[in-house]
Amino acid sequence: MAEMLPGLEHHTVVKLASNAEGRHFLALTSDDCVFSWGDGDCGQLGLADLRSDLYCYLISDPVNIKPLIHE
């Protein structure tokens, strides 16, 4: 059985994207929020730092991310 990741409990994911190695992820929700999680050692999570985490973080300014998810 699949488990909900912390941070996404009250959202419905409509699109999911990852890098080729499956090390970091983006989720677009039905209310147009973008969340990221995974390996962020080079800043790829959009969180303005280098943290890595399995908690899903809301990206506050996803302007450059949403077009990639909608493709």
Which residues touch 20 (CB under 8 Å, ≥6 apart)?
none
Neighbours of 67 (CB within 10 A): 9
**The pLDDT of residue 29:** 92
Of 41, 35, 40, which is closest to residue 60 (Cα–Cα)?
35
Beta-sheet pairing, 24-29 with 34-38 = antiparallel
**pLDDT for 66 beyond 50:** no
Cα separation, 45 vs 53, in Å, equals: 9
Residue-wise pLDDT tens digits, 5-64: 778 888 899 999 988 888 889 899 999 888 989 888 877 777 777 888 878 888 877 665
Q: What is the pTM of this model?
A: 0.73
Of 51, 30, 32, which is closest to residue 41 (Cα–Cα)?
51
**The pLDDT of residue 14:** 93
**The pLDDT of residue 30:** 93
